[in-house]
């Protein structure tokens, strides 16, 4: 395996780093109190990746079993414990644990504990996931063809009969 082709062709480098302090307010707070922080969006990384911090409250449900056709998704638990489904079994992941889900891999996550949990979600390559995070609960409530179109637009394919 080799490095990709150069994308920066200058000789002196650029001043273009972006810093986000830890105390930056979340970009989205759900009605249930879960918070999503858009650390690096597809737009800000030129499509290289998307990185989000998700803070789930006690007992917070997550998405059912699903897969993506165009992006991989990785999970890194920052604090607490998160239940992760790896396509075969549910795993109780704790601070420092990591799960990589290749393109097409079945996965799900949720917080079954009585304590909050915080995790990083990494999508590669980057995809505009902000609209998905902001609207999925409302779209699911509406259901029907509009929800199905929303899921396809956001490369999310739920699997019927996935594990509880």
| Domain edges within the chain | 28-128
Asked if residues 102 and 141 have their Cβ atoms less than 8 Å apart, the reply is no
DSSP code per residue over 110-152: E--SSS-EEEEEEEES----HHHHHHHHHHHHH-HHHHHHHHH
- To the nearest whole number, what is the mean pLDDT of the chain? 93
Domain 28-128: which CATH number of 2.40.40.20, 3.10.580.10, 1.10.150.120, 2.60.120.10? 2.60.120.10
Secondary structure tally for the chain: helices H, strands E? 2, 11
How confident is the model over 100-124, as pLDDT tens digits? Answer: 999 999 999 999 999 999 999 999 9
Q: What is the pLDDT of residue 158?
A: 93
Give burial (CB, 10 Å; 0-12/13-18/19+) of 144. Answer: exposed
């Amino acid at each position: 395996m080799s490095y990709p082709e150069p994308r920066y062709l200058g000789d002196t480098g650029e001043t273009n780093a972006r810093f986000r302090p830890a105390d930056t307010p979340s970009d989205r707070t759900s009605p249930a109190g879960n918070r999503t922080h858009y650390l690096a969006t597809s737009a800000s990384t030129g499509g290289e990746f998307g990185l989000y911090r998700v803070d789930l409250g006690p007992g917070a449900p997550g998405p059912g079993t699903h897969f993506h056709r165009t992006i991989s998704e990785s999970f890194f638990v920052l604090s607490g414990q998160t239940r992760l489904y790896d396509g075969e079994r549910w795993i109780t992941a704790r601070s420092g644990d990591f799960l990589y889900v290749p393109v097409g891999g079945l996965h799900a996550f949720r917080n079954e504990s009585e304590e909050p949990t915080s995790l990083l979600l990494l999508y590669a390559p980057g995809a505009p996931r902000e609209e998905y995070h902001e609207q999925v609960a409302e779209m699911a409530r509406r259901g029907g063809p509009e929800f199905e179109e929303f899921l396809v637009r956001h490369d999310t394919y739920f699997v019927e009969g996935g594990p509880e």
